[in-house]
Amino acid sequence: MDPIARWHEYMRTDDPALLDALLADDVMFQSPAVHTPQVGKAVAFKYLRAAAQVLGEGGFRYLDEWRAEQSAVLEFECVVDGLQVNGVDIVHWNERGLITRFKVMIRPMKALHAVVPRMSAALGMTPAPAQPS
């Protein structure tokens, strides 16, 4: 099955087993917050579960989709802490249909500032200051 169709099925069901089956061992997660990627299936799984938890609270829905051969961009919107969040998932996969890169961008700035500490909390980390020096 098409990796994006499988991704949508995971988002619909919120079934961690579907996410696990969809990620390559060397998958790289790139957050909207920090430059440094999170590499490897265990850590990417953890970040994607936390993102789904934080963003999935308020009316999450995909708006639009663009395709290339082994990658796609999915635009979404949702509400976090009463703020409208608009973002994209940029998803790349390998010839076996397993996701190798998953990048998230979010706008506007207020929404990013709302999401970042919520993500840290969902990951069990001490929330970073919203504006590191």
Q: Which residues bind a second copy (CB under 8 A)?
A: 30-35, 64-68, 71-73, 75, 84, 86-88, 90, 103-113, 116, 130-132
Contact 122/54 with Cβ under 8 angstroms?
Answer: yes
The smaller minimum CB distance to a second copy, of residues 16 and 59, is found at: 59
User: 95 to each of 19, 87, 99, how far by Cα in Å?
Assistant: 18, 26, 10
Instruction: State the minimum distance, in angstroms, from the CB of residue 114 to a second copy.
Output: 11
Instruction: State the minimum distance, in angstroms, from the CB of residue 34 to a second copy.
Output: 5
The smaller minimum CB distance to a second copy, of residues 13 and 67, is found at: 67
* Residues whose CB is less than 8 angstroms from the CB of residue 6 and which lie 6 or more positions away in sequence, other chains included: 18, 21, 22, 97
The smaller minimum CB distance to a second copy, of residues 22 and 32, is found at: 32
